[in-house]
Amino acid sequence: MNELMRMFFIFVKIGTFTLGGGYAMIPLIQEEMVEKNKWIEEDEFIDIIALAQTIPGALAINTSTYIGYRLFGLKGALFGCIGTMLPSVVIIMMVAAFFGRLQESIWVQSIFRGIRPAVVALIVAAVLKLGKTLPKSMLNIGWVIGSVLCITVFHIHPILVIVFSGLLGYMFFKGENRDENNS
């Protein structure tokens, strides 16, 4: 199987077996793209996640589309996007067909009560994995805490926090990046 189709089926697998949306998919995408296949470097993956969060659309779709494009051009972007979306579309169509009967089912309610903690665990795992790559400094720790407080306590929209963080990053680090590029 060629690499493009392999990537497609990886995204189909991730889309099929991940409940909880894009954030729950991050550790699985990272494992497949960074760790197992080594198609993307860890630092680049973090940049992809940051970019995927700042542009309109679902995080997992944006991430898979960008990774597909990065690896295989426009065809890769299309295959990455479809691979991630396809399972959800099929499952939603099946659920919609039987929603009335399934909604009241004790079995379905029980299953989802069991799935919710696992979804939270996936999101926490993604945070911990991504947190390990962040350089440990008082500035970064303060930045993380400040961002969490802005979003959870002060209810500032995450996009505004990301945009503001980008502006602050430019102000704080533009000299450092220029120095690295000159060496």
What tens digit of pLDDT does each residue of 71-105 get?
A: 999 999 999 999 999 998 998 888 788 777 777 78
pLDDT in tens, 2-27: 999 999 999 999 999 877 677 888 88
pLDDT in tens, 111-140: 888 988 988 888 888 888 888 888 889 998
**Which tokens go with 106?**
């004790």
Q: Over the Cα atoms of the chain, what is R_g?
A: 19
CA-to-CA distance for 20 and 10, rounded, in angstroms? Answer: 18
Residue 135 has what pLDDT?
A: 86
- pTM for this entry: 0.66
Q: Is 66 exposed, middle or buried (0-12, 13-18, 19+ CB in 10 A)?
A: buried
CA-to-CA distance for 63 and 177, rounded, in angstroms? Answer: 25
pLDDT in tens, 152-177: 999 999 889 989 998 998 988 887 76
Q: Which residue has the higher pLDDT, 107 or 38?
A: 38
Does 181 have pLDDT greater than 70?
no
Residue 128 has what pLDDT?
A: 87
**Whether the Cβ atoms of residue 41 and residue 137 lie closer than 8 Å to each other:** no
pLDDT in tens, 14-61: 999 877 677 888 889 999 999 999 999 999 999 999 899 888 888 999
CA-to-CA distance for 19 and 8, rounded, in angstroms? Answer: 19
Confidence of residue 182 (pLDDT cuts 50, 70, 90): low
Residue with token string 């590029």:
181
